[in-house]
Structure 1
Amino acid sequence: MRIVSSLPSIVAALVFVAACSAAAPEPVMGGSPPPPPPPAPPPAAAIPTEKPADAAPPDATGKTAEPAPATSAMATPAPTPVPSAEPSACPPDMQLVEGEYCTEVEHKCKKSWFDKSNKKTVCEEFEPTSKCVGKKVKKRYCVDTYEWPNQKGVRPEVMNRFHQAQIKCASVGKRMCTESEWNFACEGPEMKPFPHGYVRDAAKCNGDHLWDDPNMKKVAARDGDELARLWKGVPSGSQPNCISAFGVADMPANTDEVVASEQPKGSRHALYDSVHTGGPWYKGVRNQCRPKVYTHDEDFYYYFLSFRCCAEADGKATDPRTPWQIRDKWTVQKVEKRAGFTIAEMQKKLDQKKQGQCTCAAHDILCKTMCGTLLGPGAVDAKH
């Protein structure tokens, strides 16, 4: 089997219906005290504050309220992270990613199987070679070592909508990672299909858990007990063999991640700014570096969906807006409105978390989303 991996060429949009208890693990589009926050990288760039007349978003719904979720073998040695030649290029909680990124990579599958529930062929082992059949683009940027809140030993935070994740990144002087940035940080300079090599291993990157029929009404209500029941993740940094050559941890499997689109306007995958990557902890899903899902809008959130942040290297100012938002002349205020909270309000919550005082009323969903405390206390980490 010959597999060519590129941003527009691999899409795993899978059908999910909330009313169906036998749904596939990956949904389609829809709509512990907290530790201190990580140190902030360089300050963000100055962003226009007046709303331009032509500021038309990719999703022009104008929604600001919290929406409902989707309805709908050979072991490979653990990679040795490449040490940064310039430790000051990135903050201590981030890794420098630098080199030539290939826009389209060819991998040949040696061993695969078909998952009926997702109607997806899963490659278990690739030929140990990667061929660049696209263009090479020079890149140099910083990426969080772990998923938000980017701290070793802390569970990756889930249940954020796209713009909420974006404002959280902006609150620490960072931005959302793009598709290609996530790819490069995961696959490394050798363009591996998995961060640890060419053989899929769910014991290295937490995966292959059985589908557990989420109660979608409870997920929509952010029911802490239901979110705890569904939790099959592991804390950040607890997978020593799930580390890329650039030293970035926990990228495929465990929690899925959301990144910013780089699809050209008018292309068949240019639906939303929100793109999903990595794949969740379930069996029979896309747990590789390159495959993407392009069918979730910016208001989508889910119990296994997380994110991490990126920033410019070498102390350069970081614009918190996405490539699409820059193209369409969005302001940060417009992003804040979509998120439901501002950068300043999020920074206040981070200060409260640092003091162990980020507490919320029982039904204050927005507060719990900002504090990252939606997951009920009954959650048990997966064993791997």
Structure 2
Amino acid sequence: MTAKSNYFKWLWACDELAPNHTVRGLVKSTLTGKIFWVSVLAILVSAQILGSIAPIWAGTSGKLAGVIRDQESGTPLPGASVMIKGTSIGTSTDEDGEYFLINVPVGTYTVEVFLIGYQSVKKTKVTVLLDLTTPLDFELKSSPIELEKAIIVVAERPIIQKDLTSSTNLVIREQLDNLPNAVGIQPVISSMAGTVEDENRLLHVRGGRAGTVSYFLDDVSVQDPFVGQAGTRISPDALEELSLTTGGFTAEYGEALSGVVSAITREGGSQFAGKIKAYDGLTHSYDVHTGEYGKLERNDNHSVIANLSGPLTFSQSDRAAFFFSGEWGKNDGYLPHNWRTYHSETGKISLKPTNNIKLVLSGNYYQRELLRYEHRDVNNI
């Protein structure tokens, strides 16, 4: 028989807040007018509250923190400006030369520090991880005459993440891009320590059952409650970060037993970018009687993956940006009844009305079609 499964989920940051607030003092003669103005005010109130309570949400962001010092004397430098290039995120150091940036979306950035009387410094490939603090210190060289070019330094990821209290395997965007055959996140996860993929392509973590792994996409559960597996499929090209937590997870993931798989999707930036790649398969037939291989033939296992991102306007601003990724694939399997076809689409729109408010609309659609094998005996059992 042919089975088809669909998964479609839209997330709107303000929807969870609007029903919890009552708009008073609104009197209209018609029911239509009341509904319209209540909706408008609820959205505005929700957006304001969203900006004010964002720091207490788990969210999909991390934190940058560090100290700015004089290169020669080691003295902390107050009042130095710290900016994340390509974004509107920035701050300045306090009287102790310390700074911190919260609610930084997960990703890789270039951070620049500048202060009057000192040569500006840029650090590239600074990675911000989900719910973790990335330490980033700077040393500025005094310069009485402003130089035209800044010093560029490649940031190094700390070997030990001091605020990481759980057993977590983490793969960032740069590593995902360099994987040779990453057609789905399942092969990436199954290559990590403590995981096993069985003959039914089900994931087991640390000896647990397949249904005891929790799956999160952009910090929202996408677990299928009927079978306990991931209810969607997403291409690694659409991810900014992929992690597997196998122990010590916090109360945020209270329903998890053996492991937590968390994926953060990418966001668009101020520049247009895109990529397309395809996979195909060739194999040799094998004769079990003679032990000889046949000629090289296509096995009809292939997939196409593409993504596109950039600003919603041509002003090259990150105030309004989009990201879209799509995947289509077909796998014939080893037996005639083991074929399957699938396609998956992921999209995200990011809006920043102000520096303190950010609205995100994201969606994921997944559909697969496969032929399930059924065996019934003479008693129809």
TM-score (norm 2): 0.21
Higher relative contact order (CA 8 A, sep 6+): 1
Instruction: Point out the structure with the larger helix share.
Output: 1
Between structures 1 and 2, the one with greater strand share? 2
Structure with greater Cα Rg? 2
